[in-house]
């Protein structure tokens, strides 16, 4: 049988588009299909039943006694709501910044006239809980501490448990951007003192962008009483009042809510702990594969939401992103801002499975070889296979590449 | 970072269901989405425009001047229509049978009272064109020759070109079940004398089951004039008459037709020759991967629609099917009838790509190791990567597993 002539490539073959980024993430089919039912009206009993179910399921999967409210907004809208509802211009706050999203907190503080002390970690490193403890100890006027549970831009995880314990002892509230943290790392909202937690629909919740949600602890509600920041659309008290009746303050995104209800059902069914373990295991297998291929991990405190990897020396990571798209129609992400070209990022949050990872690593091996970085075909894949076998097979007996 | 405890598996993780069988095949998303537009009526100008477009596009991708008609039926309905419309009880016909679908032709001949001479090949082998030539030479009364272009049950390809040339010289018509042949092998309907060709929607056309289609040459129409077999639903003359007006004889499956229109647009866009080359290349890479893993191919004349593989000695292929489902939620197929347990089948027809194949082979390696057949992880994947690199990379330079 003769080989297919090379001239037919690369246009000849089927390339399914695959969205493999840390947000938007791959979509849950049942949730997508549910969006077709969106010829409903939001001031009806049917809608109220749906909305109440969503808020109740969300509370259940987040395992919190805090109030949980949903907003028609991107995650960034949720971050603003988490600021605007609790503070007043001139308030002193502490911001942990370890990447582009930490910098976004700083921008929000600036926009709202807050006096922010910024604890910065270099890209790829985490802000240490000790630094938070020290800063809180030195300044008793701090009213809020802001952090990313998982800093998506660098693939770095913060120790929000220890930070939360430190904040708990003060009068400040702990505001956690967990947009990529939820569903990829353990988050004990109540016990760890995570007063305000922000999430988004397009992450581990497996549905398209457009919904943010916020949890609010009693301590945060209390602080809200003294907040004098102007607000209209992101009015959490108004949302809470409406939510009690199964309604949203403003016109809700019905299509996404129908999808959200399905996704929550799916997550309840597999269990939030298992969803987290899934991301952790994929992240671990990815790290082992990158190491097997001789690639350096970017973060010293790697998150399970997304793994940031340095390209081989001398190679711009944009080449890898571009080749994933041109060869395999797979969309993966570059570094952001000054990290552009320095890293590529492989996501694990939400609707990702081993099938995805086997293929992604096989494709990366091809791309590396095609760009002057010789790696043995199958070596990274074997690392993923071994990681899978170690946990999924009755007798974990890793088989080495011969 | 500690390993995830094995006790969490195998229930813990996300398992996307993946349909990887030789029919139904993976679905084209744009085609699926188009089904949402099916609140249309079939006796309107909008529908007539759609239907005419489908018939015209189908004719174009099949590259034939024969008439092309669509039926609301499974492929088997198309096979019956291809018999019922051209012959009469008692007619002498020749049937090439090399598997379960060859046997289906025999059953259909029996149901319609035809006098069939059956040229059988053992499972895994093809009927040779010489046998057809000889049989036609020996019996001048033969009115029809029936064959599978691609025998799906064994993954075997027939040489329909040479068979067609032999039939062309006689008064008989050549009736080809190309349900899995279309889009996976070259088929020059007009030049090769393929008088009646039967296809189905759920194969290389990437949409769900429910539509069959039939091409009819002038020679076949001529024979149809003398046919006295009773018919009502599968009346091709009636369909032809209606098709000229952009209508179907009976209520059409509007959802599937909307999907079909999208799929045809997609196929026209990449080109039928490229769709065929895609399947051929995936099939070739699969064969090379199986050989790298020491597995025996079942067919001596392997088709590009589906590759039938023998499991390792002593292993029932059902174990492999079951483990693909339980570990990876991937649906692949066993052998049919007496071949059950003897082979497993990996499909390539339609909406399959290399991403799929990398993962499938990685999963097969895990399953083999988990069931006592030690193969080095990544070895079969490397064979697929080399096959890809050989045709898709600027400088084909296969890298061996170290």
Kindly report the CATH number assigned to the domain that includes residue B133: 3.40.640.10
Region A180-208 average pLDDT = 98
- Asked if residue A402 is part of any domain, the answer here is no
- Asked if residue A281 is part of any domain, the answer here is yes
Please name the member of A4, A11, A274 whose beta carbon is closest to the beta carbon of B12: A274
Of A26, A16, A60, the C-alpha closest to A279 is A26
Judged by a CB distance cut-off of 8 A, whether residue A385 touches chain B is yes
pLDDT 10s digits, A264-318: 999 999 999 999 999 999 999 999 999 999 999 999 999 999 999 999 999 999 9
What predicted TM-score, i.e. pTM, was given to this entire model? 0.93
- Asked if residue A297 is part of any domain, the answer here is yes
Region A29-38 average pLDDT = 94
Judged by a CB distance cut-off of 8 A, whether residue B348 touches chain A is no
All residue ranges of chain B with pLDDT < 70 are: 1-12, 395-402
Partner A, chain B 24-83, Cβ-Cβ below 8 Å:
36
Question: Is there a single domain that holds both residue A19 and residue A138?
Answer: no
Kindly report the CATH number assigned to the domain that includes residue A322: 3.90.1150.10
Q: Are B198 and B176 in contact (CB under 8 A)?
A: yes
* The domain boundary residue, chosen from A246, A270, A294: A270
Judged by a CB distance cut-off of 8 A, whether residue A111 touches chain B is no
Contacts (Cβ under 8 Å, ≥6 apart) of B324: B330, B331, B332, B363, B364, B367
Percent of chain B with pLDDT over 90: 93
Contact check, Cβ <8 Å, A381/B374: no
Question: Is there a single domain that holds both residue A385 and residue A238?
Answer: no
Question: Is there a single domain that holds both residue A311 and residue A263?
Answer: no
Please name the member of B18, B350, B358 whose beta carbon is closest to the beta carbon of A363: B358
CA distance to A378, B290, B381, per residue, from A402 (Å)? 11, 17, 14
Question: Is there a single domain that holds both residue B20 and residue B38?
Answer: no
Question: Is there a single domain that holds both residue B242 and residue B306?
Answer: no
Question: Is there a single domain that holds both residue B19 and residue B141?
Answer: no
- Asked if residue A98 is part of any domain, the answer here is yes
Q: How many domains would you assign to chain A?
A: 2
Could you tell me the two tokens for A109?
């503080």
- Asked if residue B262 is part of any domain, the answer here is yes
Question: Is there a single domain that holds both residue A152 and residue A288?
Answer: no
The CA distance from A44 to B279, in Å, is 51
The CA distance from B400 to B251, in Å, is 57
Contact check, Cβ <8 Å, B4/A378: no
Distance from CA of A120 to the nearest CA of B (A): 24
Rg (CA), chain B: 22
Question: Is there a single domain that holds both residue A212 and residue A189?
Answer: yes
CA distance to A303, A307, A326, A335, per residue, from A322 (Å)? 24, 18, 6, 13
Contact check, Cβ <8 Å, A274/B388: no
Question: Is there a single domain that holds both residue A233 and residue A282?
Answer: no
- Asked if residue A3 is part of any domain, the answer here is no
Contacting residues of A for B365, CB less than 8 Å apart: 385
The CA distance from A229 to B5, in Å, is 47
Q: Is B331 exposed, middle or buried (0-12, 13-18, 19+ CB in 10 A)?
A: middle
* The domain boundary residue, chosen from A222, A246, A270: A270
Locate tokens 């973060």: which residue?
A299
pLDDT 10s digits, A311-321: 999 999 999 99
Locate tokens 């997609």: which residue?
B266
Please name the member of B353, B384, B396 whose beta carbon is closest to the beta carbon of A6: B396
Q: Are B401 and B291 in contact (CB under 8 A)?
A: no
Contacting residues of A for B284, CB less than 8 Å apart: 1, 3-4
- Asked if residue B1 is part of any domain, the answer here is no
Question: Is there a single domain that holds both residue A303 and residue A247?
Answer: no
Could you tell me the two tokens for A373?
């970085």
CA B187 to chain centre: 13
Please name the member of A329, A375, A385 whose beta carbon is closest to the beta carbon of B366: A385
The CA distance from A376 to B399, in Å, is 6
Q: Domain residues for A338?
A: 13-25+272-392
Q: Nearest 5°: CA angle at A299, between A296 and A302?
A: 110
- Asked if residue A246 is part of any domain, the answer here is yes
ipTM metric: 0.91
Question: Is there a single domain that holds both residue A248 and residue A372?
Answer: no
Question: Is there a single domain that holds both residue B172 and residue B282?
Answer: no
Residue A393: predicted pLDDT: 87
In chain A, the largest separation of any two C-alpha atoms, in whole Å, equals 78
pLDDT 10s digits, A390-400: 988 875 445 56
Judged by a CB distance cut-off of 8 A, whether residue B381 touches chain A is yes
3 state SS of A8? helix
Judged by a CB distance cut-off of 8 A, whether residue A3 touches chain B is yes
Please name the member of A378, A389, A393 whose beta carbon is closest to the beta carbon of B385: A378
Locate tokens 């926009």: which residue?
A111
* The domain boundary residue, chosen from A223, A246, A270: A270
Of B353, B349, B261, the C-alpha closest to B33 is B261
Contacting residues of B for A9, CB less than 8 Å apart: 391-392
């Amino acid at each position: 049988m003769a080989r297919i002539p090379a001239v037919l490539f690369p246009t000849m073959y089927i390339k399914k588009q695959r969205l493999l980024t840390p947000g938007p993430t791959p979509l849950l089919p049942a949730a997508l299909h549910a969006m077709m039912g969106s010829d409903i009206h939001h001031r009806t009993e049917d809608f109220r039943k749906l909305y109440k179910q969503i808020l109740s399921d969300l509370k259940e999967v987040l395992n919190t006694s805090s109030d949980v409210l949903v907003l028609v907004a991107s995650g960034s809208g949720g971050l603003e709501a988490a600021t605007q509802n609790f503070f007043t211009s001139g308030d002193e706050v502490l911001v942990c910044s370890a990447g582009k999203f930490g910098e976004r907190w700083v921008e929000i503080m600036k926009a709202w006239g807050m006096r922010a002390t910024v604890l910065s970690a270099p890209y790829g490193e985490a802000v240490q809980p000790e630094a938070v403890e020290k800063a809180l100890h030195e300044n008793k006027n701090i009213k809020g501490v802001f952090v990313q549970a998982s800093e998506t831009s660098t693939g770095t995880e913060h120790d929000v448990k220890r930070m939360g314990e430190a904040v708990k002892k003060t009068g400040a509230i702990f505001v956690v951007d967990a947009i990529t943290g939820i569903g990829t790392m353990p988050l004990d909202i109540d016990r760890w003192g995570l007063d305000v937690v922000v999430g988004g629909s397009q992450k581990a919740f497996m549905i398209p962008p457009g919904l943010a949600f916020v949890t609010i602890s009693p301590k945060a509600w209390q602080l809200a009483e003294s907040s004098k920041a102007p607000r209209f659309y992101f009015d959490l008290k108004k949302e809470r009042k409406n939510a009690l009746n199964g309604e949203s303050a403003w016109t809700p995104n019905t299509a996404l809510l129908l999808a959200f209800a399905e996704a929550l059902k799916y997550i309840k069914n597999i269990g939030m702990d298992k969803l987290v373990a899934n991301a952790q295991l994929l992240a671990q297998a990815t790290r082992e594969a990158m190491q097997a291929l001789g690639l350096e991990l970017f973060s010293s405190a790697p998150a399970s939401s997304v793994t940031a990897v340095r390209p081989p020396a001398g190679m711009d990571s944009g080449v890898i992103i571009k080749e994933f798209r041109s060869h395999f129609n797979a969309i993966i992400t570059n570094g952001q801002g000054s990290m552009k070209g320095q890293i590529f990022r492989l996501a694990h949050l939400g609707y990702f499975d081993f099938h995805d990872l086997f293929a992604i690593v096989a494709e990366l091996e091809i791309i590396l070889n095609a760009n002057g970085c010789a790696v043995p075909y199958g070596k990274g894949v074997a690392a993923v296979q071994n990681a899978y076998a170690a946990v999924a097979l009755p007798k974990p007996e890793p088989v080495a590449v011969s």
